[in-house]
Structure 1
Amino acid sequence: MMLGSVLNPVNSTIIAVTLIPIGDALGAPPSRTAWLVSALYLATALGQPVMGRLIDIFGPRRLFLVSTSLVGVAGVVGTLAPNLGVLIASRVLLGFGTCAGYPAAMALVRSEAERTGQDSPGGVLTALAVANQTIAVLGPLLGGLLIGLGGWRTTFALNVPLAAVAELLGLLRLPKEAGTGESPQRGRLAAQLDLPGMALFAAMLISLLLFLMNLHPRDWYLLVIAAAASAAFALRELRAPVPFINLRVLGGNTPLLATYGRALVAYVVSYAFLYGFTQWTEEGFGLSPFHAGLVQIPMFLVAIGVSIVTGRRKGVRGKLVVGGLGQIAACAVMLTLTGDSPVWTLVLVALIFGLPQGLNSLALQNSVYFQADPERIASSAGLLRTFAYVGSMVASSTAAASFGQRADTGGMHHLAWIMLGAGVLCLVLTVFDRTLGRPSPPRLTRTRSSGI
């Protein structure tokens, strides 16, 4: 479970220190290498709820094995990529390949709770969060080490052994009958999957994210396509006998909707720091990829400690409030940094960011576990990741627009102001949310309902 769930964050964090070396090797500015970030999250944002729905129907085993094999293929393609276009294509494959790990883990937790009749997931959910944050610690540092040993291509080759181990463990350990949802007959498969709904969801999301990746008035037509696809998607889901996403049920679940909204805003700040600040430490401050990775380590160490200490506490309001205040404080410190600042100030920013990094991710994950329909836990968890990846797209686009051709100090300050605004919004959404409180454990008995 933990290995599958970290395949995405290891590729998310390792790329942070490779953007500048890849740009130098392939002659691409930050505005173009930003597509290496956006491509993975575009594919994952689309694939997570789809893969979650499939896991709800069939169980995690077969979906985990199929998707993880794509990670190995993507590692080979990225290692041998002759140009930036092929490299971006490998990141798309990585995005789809890493889609099953997290929804499968959440489905297995729910399945075990139903099997035993004991719903005590605090330790397991904390372990998942800590595993993701631990690999996030190692990602930038590991990326810097691999670049030093064999160049940036080794960071893509790493996916081949990781995928091989995940496949082996999946074959040996994942239960063959671990589904949490229905088991449709073959003849009803198309209806259960709601393929038209999935297609409209894909059209809506792709057009929206393509617009967010490169904000410009000339791309207004993408918003028109997104709006049209959104309207068609809503009509389809409201009329479908078994909708891909049950909008009536989702619309009535105000706490879950609020959690998705907070996730989007919180991850704008988180990913803008991860990618934008890291690029500035290399190009604007003059650190090597290895030392830029070292600067990130204090953030993740604090995040791990915070998750371990607070992981078994089910309350989420306090975690989100403190996390929002931490984001605001870190952004304020970023605004004071220049190319001549002492290194310890960079470490200070990372330390402060560690607080919201640990609290927000854990609180959002626990919120979905307790707020979602137990019969749709995998697809609900996938949708949480989708909102997070939309936030990462906004962060990537904002960083590219702030830096332009070079990640200089002025661009970093521009990015910090945007991050500060997002942090304030996240705090406001938490403080004034009357639905937020100590979550109650979901029912372990099944309730028949369709969609998320």
Structure 2
Amino acid sequence: MTRRSTAERSGTADQAPALDRRLVPPMVLGSVLNPINSTVIAVALVPLGAALGASPAQTAWLVSALYLATALGQPVVGRLIDLFGPRRLFLSATTLVGVAGIVGTLAPNLGVLIAARVVLGFGTCAGYPAAMALLRAEARRTGQDSPAGVLTLLAVANQTVAVIGPLLGGLLTSIGGWRATFALNVPLSVLAVALGALRLPRARPAETAETAGTGETAGSAGTVAGPRGGFARRIDLPGMALFAVLLLTLLLFLMDPHPDRWYLPVLTAAAATAFTVRERRAAEPFIDLKVLGGNAPLLRTYARALAAYVVAYAFLYGFAQWTEEGFGLTPLQAGLVQAPTFLVGIAVSVAAGRRGGIRTTLLIGAVGQLAACALMLALGTHSPLWALLVLAVVFGIPQGANGLALQNSVFQQSDPARTGSSAGLLRTFAYLGSMVASAATAAAYGPHAGTAGMHRLAWVMLAAAALFLLLTVFDRGLRTRPAG
């Protein structure tokens, strides 16, 4: 990275320092690697299942595998970013994205594809926590309480990718088959690694919220100077391992909640108990439960994220499958039908980023979710195409409102020293929502994505939307600060 003078980096007495715009491209690209892989494959599931002889319940594992890995990896990588800075983790993780792309492109069967999606999930873990940690550091350096413009840009970038994803997925599937949706990750990985290597800072900021007042300073290798092995002692490996067992057993049960898998929730409860004991006693816990437990606004934000993403991902995957199998659209047509959702979402995100308060934005999203779920219940195989487009437009309202408001809530409510891990936990709760949505989609459809199954799925979505509304209406702690 080209060196700049102290005056250029820190500003002068007459002019406040500006956010380093060179950080924006790697931040944005890293943060969208996961959403683009979510949306690109959505319209490829049906042709992929036909090519490999897999049912919708089996291809649902391609969705679940990605989010299982990412839900586990996001807070872990986020915590490592808090400790070591974003550069190392960003470069290592985005390299894995390219590896997963090659494996998926050459995969001979569904099992290898699922393994590739697991690697892809871990590879996309670093982008979003790294972006939020960089923004926190830049906000501290520039004196901005909240870099509203870049926070909105991150939300809009995710919406833009969501627009491109289904269309690109349909186009790639039409031209090169479903394997092309995996091959896409190779050039994306090369670009992300190049941008990260050129633009991400090699060292952590000299004074972070975590080290402020302790006399520690940043070293040139991206670590904090101090006693030898200090960082090794601060990586809570037992806590991370227990968290992994907790989350893995929970998600495996959610993906296939049958009575004969009773042992999974038992293991989840045991891991949760051990994790709680460990984290409350650890000097440097992976997740500081004492701080998190006392941060009720942040906990409510995570609960809202879980409910919101049950609705969002059930629509993204479940409704897309019905438009192809139940309504008879091609993958490209199914992608086009979903495009209005994300176009409207972009407009809503931009408007909310400029003027909306967090509570107002969440309420708009809540009402939009309820209206969209009700419209789904009115659709059938004989519905006109314009009715599907109207539904896509209505779904765009919560698509744009909820993501921005939840992201900005975490930025305002989280401990500055744990911005990366807090942002990672937001994505973890989002992926928990995606797991519930995936399980609900598989249970609602069975071997065929028909209209009756789509209606069953809509009732599940309606219940989650109602929970989101209640969590918002009765949350008196929501501040009416700008959402952007």
TM bucket, shorter chain: over 0.9
Post-superposition offset of 1:175: 1.1
| Maintained 8 Å contact 2:298/2:413 | yes
Taking only aligned residues, the RMSD between alpha carbons, in angstroms, comes to 1.2
Post-superposition offset of 1:186: 5.1
Greater C-alpha Rg:
2
Structure 2 residue runs without a partner (length 5+): 1-26, 212-223
Post-superposition offset of 1:314: 6.3
CA distance in 2, matches of 1:185, 1:265: 44
**Which residue matches 1:374?**
416
**Equivalent position amino acid for 2:424 in 1:** G
CA distance in 2, matches of 1:87, 1:303: 31
| Maintained 8 Å contact 1:18/1:143 | yes
Structure 1 residue runs without a partner (length 5+): 442-452
Question: Which is further off, 383-392 or 178-187?
Answer: 178-187
**Which residue matches 2:145?**
119
Deviations 1:88-107 (Å, cap 9, x if unpaired)? 00000010000000000001
Deviations 1:341-366 (Å, cap 9, x if unpaired)? 11011111110000000000000000
Assess, with a 3 A threshold, how the Cα gap between structure 1 residues 205 and 291 changes in structure 2: closer, same or farther: same
Matching of residues 336-347 of structure 1 within 5 Å: 336-347=378-389
| Maintained 8 Å contact 1:314/1:366 | no
**Which residue matches 1:86?**
112
| Maintained 8 Å contact 2:355/2:482 | no
| Maintained 8 Å contact 1:122/1:313 | no
Which ranges of 4 or more aligned residues in structure 1 deviate by more than 3 Å?
178-182
Deviations 1:375-407 (Å, cap 9, x if unpaired)? 111110000000000000000000000000000
| Residue 273 (str. 1) matches residue 315 (str. 2) | yes
**Which residue matches 2:13?**
none
**Which residue matches 1:423?**
465
| Maintained 8 Å contact 1:68/1:166 | yes
| Maintained 8 Å contact 1:334/1:413 | yes
**Which residue matches 1:307?**
349
Assess, with a 3 A threshold, how the Cα gap between structure 1 residues 112 and 282 changes in structure 2: closer, same or farther: same
Select 1:169's aligned residue among 195, 198, 208.
Answer: 195
**Which residue matches 2:79?**
53
**Equivalent position amino acid for 1:350 in 2:** A
**Which residue matches 1:413?**
455
CA distance in 2, matches of 1:139, 1:347: 17
| Maintained 8 Å contact 2:353/2:482 | no
CA distance in 1, matches of 2:142, 2:479: 27
| Residue 17 (str. 1) matches residue 43 (str. 2) | yes
Matching of residues 61-100 of structure 1 within 5 Å: 61-100=87-126
Matching of residues 235-246 of structure 1 within 5 Å: 235-246=277-288
Matching of residues 134-145 of structure 1 within 5 Å: 134-145=160-171
Matching of residues 286-365 of structure 1 within 5 Å: 286-313=328-355, 315-365=357-407
Select 1:149's aligned residue among 152, 164, 175.
Answer: 175
| Maintained 8 Å contact 1:370/1:439 | no
Post-superposition offset of 1:54: 0.5
CA distance in 1, matches of 2:312, 2:112: 28
Select 1:42's aligned residue among 62, 68, 91.
Answer: 68
| Maintained 8 Å contact 1:108/1:178 | no
CA distance in 2, matches of 1:359, 1:153: 33
| Maintained 8 Å contact 2:344/2:400 | yes
Assess, with a 3 A threshold, how the Cα gap between structure 1 residues 185 and 127 changes in structure 2: closer, same or farther: farther
**Which residue matches 1:105?**
131
Secondary structure of the 1:311 match is helix
CA distance in 1, matches of 2:343, 2:177: 26
| Residue 390 (str. 1) matches residue 427 (str. 2) | no
TM-score with structure 1 setting the length: 0.96
CA distance in 2, matches of 1:278, 1:340: 17
CA distance in 2, matches of 1:178, 1:403: 49
CA distance in 2, matches of 1:315, 1:206: 36
**Equivalent position amino acid for 2:150 in 1:** V
Post-superposition offset of 1:415: 0.2
| Maintained 8 Å contact 1:70/1:94 | yes
| Residue 210 (str. 1) matches residue 252 (str. 2) | yes
Indicate the percent of aligned positions where both proteins have the same amino acid. 69
Select 1:191's aligned residue among 223, 233, 236.
Answer: 233
Question: Which is further off, 177-186 or 97-106?
Answer: 177-186
Assess, with a 3 A threshold, how the Cα gap between structure 1 residues 373 and 26 changes in structure 2: closer, same or farther: same
Secondary structure of the 1:242 match is coil
Assess, with a 3 A threshold, how the Cα gap between structure 1 residues 131 and 186 changes in structure 2: closer, same or farther: farther
Post-superposition offset of 1:223: 0.2
Select 1:231's aligned residue among 273, 292, 300.
Answer: 273
CA distance in 2, matches of 1:402, 1:31: 10
Between the two proteins, the alignment pairs up a number of residues equal to 441
| Maintained 8 Å contact 1:334/1:349 | yes
